[in-house]
Amino acid sequence: MRLVAVLTLLGSLHAAPAQDEGLTRAQLEQELQAYRRVLLDFGGLVHYGSDNAEIPPPKPGENRVVFLGDDITENWKGPFFPGKPYFNRGITRQTTAQMLVRFRQDVISLKPKVVVIQAGTNDLASVMGPATVGTMADNVESMVELARAHRIQVVLTSVLPVCDCFTKQTGRRPIGKILGINEWLRDYAKREKLPYVDWHSALVEGRQFKRDYTADGLLPNAAGYARMMPLVETAIQQAIHQ
């Protein structure tokens, strides 16, 4: 449905910027290219496929960790846990449904000790069409079950806050819905005895993303990632020693 809307808008625009959610023509063209890629490779299996093939099995005693996520993981600012056997497997714009498709390739095949699952913000924004907390929950539960079947410990993270500090973000990702998803994630992690990283509380001011910690109201900046790093590291160590 959103693809149709983007195509329609692009067809009607020539020089003037679009008013659809504040997107310009260039941004709409970028979205269109992203949807074209999805049509060819829904799960994003090509993204890390060749890289994964070159990674050797973990060494004895190696505490390998895979970060599976979306824009927030792929665009991690600064060194990505230097000196640690941690692998970034984030893909911008992905939803939990797409992560589930590539879970076997991008997580299980790497034989990690721990997987950090960071997801949900694009489900909220209906990037791949309408989604609910229920469908997102089903996908997260399926990933957790797959990990457990392969003796991989799981760390769950909260959905990050957003703000309208730079561009309009709360229209696609309403604050109330972010809080609702995080409540489910927190309760599910507690029920399943999984380490849970509350990045939301660490980055929020009031009910929105603290301006000092964000690059655009959606993604963290270097200071935001620096705030996130020790919190997830603590959860990883908890998972390793469970």
Q: Does 87 share its domain with 182?
A: yes
Q: What is the 3-state secondary structure (H, E, C) of 176-192?
A: HHHHHHHHHHHHHHHHH
Q: Does 57 share its domain with 120?
A: yes
In order along its 242 residues, the chain shows pLDDT tens digits of 444 444 443 443 333 333 345 567 766 666 676 666 666 667 888 999 899 999 999 999 999 999 999 999 999 988 899 999 999 999 999 999 999 999 999 999 999 999 999 999 999 999 888 889 999 999 999 999 999 999 999 999 999 999 999 989 999 999 999 999 999 999 999 999 999 999 999 999 999 999 999 999 999 999 999 999 999 999 999 999 98
- 221 φ, ψ (degrees, to nearest 5): -95, -170
Say which CATH number the domain at 102 has. 3.40.50.1110
Q: Which residue range(s) make up the domain with 21?
A: 1-40
Q: Does 18 share its domain with 96?
A: no
Three-state SS at 65 = strand
Tokens describing residue 178: 């972010």
- 87 φ, ψ (degrees, to nearest 5): -115, 130
Give me the number of domains the chain comprises. 2
Q: Does 139 share its domain with 35?
A: no
Q: Give the pTM.
A: 0.86
Q: Does 88 share its domain with 2?
A: no
Question: CA torsion 20→177→118→209, rounded to 10°?
Answer: 70
Q: Does 176 share its domain with 205?
A: yes
Q: Does 47 share its domain with 30?
A: no
Q: Does 141 share its domain with 202?
A: yes
